[in-house]
Amino acid sequence: MLSMKKTFAHCYLLMGMILSCSIITKTFAQNKITVEADQGKITISKNIYGHFAEHLGHCIYGGFYVGDTSKTIPNTDGVRNDVIAALKKMKIPILRWPGGCFADTYHWKDGIGPKDKRPNMVNRWWGGVTEDNSFGTHDFLNMCELLGAEPYISGNVGSGTVQELSDWVQYTNFKGRSPMSDLRAANGRVEPWKVKFWGIGNEAWGCGGNMRPDYYADEYRKYATFMSDWGNSGGLMRIASGASDADYHWTETLMKNIPLDMLGGVAMHHYSVLDWNKKGSATDFSEAQYFGIMKQAYKMEELVTKHAAVMDKYDPEKKVALVVDEWGGWYDVEPGTNPGFLYQQNSMRDAMIAGLTLNIFNNHADRVRVANLAQCINVLQSVILTNKERMILTPTYHVMEMYNVHQDATLLPLIIKTDDYVFGNEKLPAVSASASKDKKGVTHITLTNIDAAKSQAISIDFTGAKFKTVSGRILTSKKLQDYNSFEQPQKIMPVAFTGAQFKNGSLEVKLPPFSVVVLTLE
């Protein structure tokens, strides 16, 4: 009897230990990542880290461009020197211009020649302001040279003509004698710029002409036919105006009806928006609103996967790029600003959008080869804000700068098992990640924890590689709503990260709530 009591006691003790272990495991559950460090085959195009500069609000005028007569703001040919320095540090690879919706109202010949002879125009899409066309083709392309960035020109299909766009290509790219190259030389530029990336219209389903997909496919074929290479080494990359969000029929129609040898890329736009009629404040938001925006940001994974699957049916060799040339968070404008200028602040929430989205793009680098954050300065999820002589860098800027280690590096496949970020009855994966190996053989891992309240412990294993050292940088803050202001421009800055260490052959990492981390392994 005593023996049986001891047996029962031992059983209860064992059950208690098992229960305790179960509780501990559940409370302190670890995320698990396996990086296949010897399986890299795909290059992460640097152009995934592209940006967008539309004639919208103070993105161009007062943002990039202050005019070469400015006496208070140091500039090079009218472009702010502080902006140039910041974007070069961020390693901006490609810049899309002049729109957006503006592109299909823009006639490029109005923006060349002596500035005092250029006609005015009304920006019908964005605030109804009158522009003097002082920032045009030469200004943009010369600025791209200063930045070391590829220009991506969005051509006018909505209100333009085939001849107009064909002439623009000749003007920018033809080296020999021709009407347009002679005109370029007369305007002060002898050598062509050799612009590779050309968008044939923008949002043709909406502000670019409210076209049906079949109609636009035919228009694209016509425009693409007359856009000759004009001696540009490597050829033009013609990019079709693509789908809004989950319009897979649009993508299928283009892939089915446009010959692949005429099609360099198909665009897709997706913004993280709570409600188009009531978007909410950029800085004064609840956790419910934050969670809603994260749900929208996570939709990028589904959209990229499904659009790529449609493209795979017609292009199994993946010759055509999926070009996500507009993405980012969209909120109500800041109080007291012009509603048509789309000026909004940029908080840690936006850093979460950026970190999560860039991880998605990296992991789909086989198909996603160009992307453009909307927009670069003073508009939507910008990386820079300006106010006369002052300039600040946003949390989104810092994420883009931290992640630039992936540019043109080899994607390392990874398997991730993550805990959930739970809010109410809903949940999202808490941790996202991507990894690459650069040309020097250095491996980088980027990690984003979107959970608003909980830290995440992560165990990372590697197949096919061993590392001796780990270092890192982290971007986080005290509150999700924190942002950099002109009064506190360095409130949110990357700092050294010490929360990673090797233990029993694995890399153990602890991510604070709403944080972005970049690890360097050698």
* Residues assigned a catalytic role: 203, 326
Q: Among 145, 52, 126, 129, which Cα is nearest to 95's?
A: 52
| Alpha-carbon span 479 to 438, nearest angstrom | 34
275, two tokens: 């409600």
Pairing of strands 197-200, 237-244: parallel
Asked if omega into 179 is within 30° of 0 (cis), the reply is: no
Q: What is the per-residue burial (b if ≥16 Cβ within 10 Å, else e) of 388-425?
A: eeebbbbbbbbbbbbbbbbbbbbbbbbebebbebebee
Which single residue is written with the structure tokens 């991730």? 416
**Which residues have C-beta within 8 Å of that of residue 21, sequence separation ≥ 6?**
none
- Alpha-carbon distance of 246 to 241, in angstroms, equals 14
DSSP assignments along 123-159, one per residue? -TTTTT-EE---S-HHHHHHHHHHHT-EEEEEE--SS
* Spatial separation of the C-alpha atoms in residues 503 and 14, rounded to whole Å: 29
Which tokens belong to 41? Answer: 């085959």
Question: Strand locations in 179-234, DSSP E?
Answer: 197-200
| Tally of CA atoms within 13 A in the half-sphere of 262 that contains its CB | 19
Q: Locate the DSSP E strands across 338-399.
A: 368-373, 384-387, 390-393
Read off the amino acid at residue 36: E
Residue 438 in tokens = 């650069």
Given a contact cutoff of 8 angstroms between Cβ atoms, the answer to whether 509 and 457 are in contact is yes
Phi, psi (5° rounding) for residue 13? -65, -45
Return the structure tokens found at 337: 């600003």
155, β-bridge pairs: 200
> Identity (one letter) of the amino acid at 126?
W
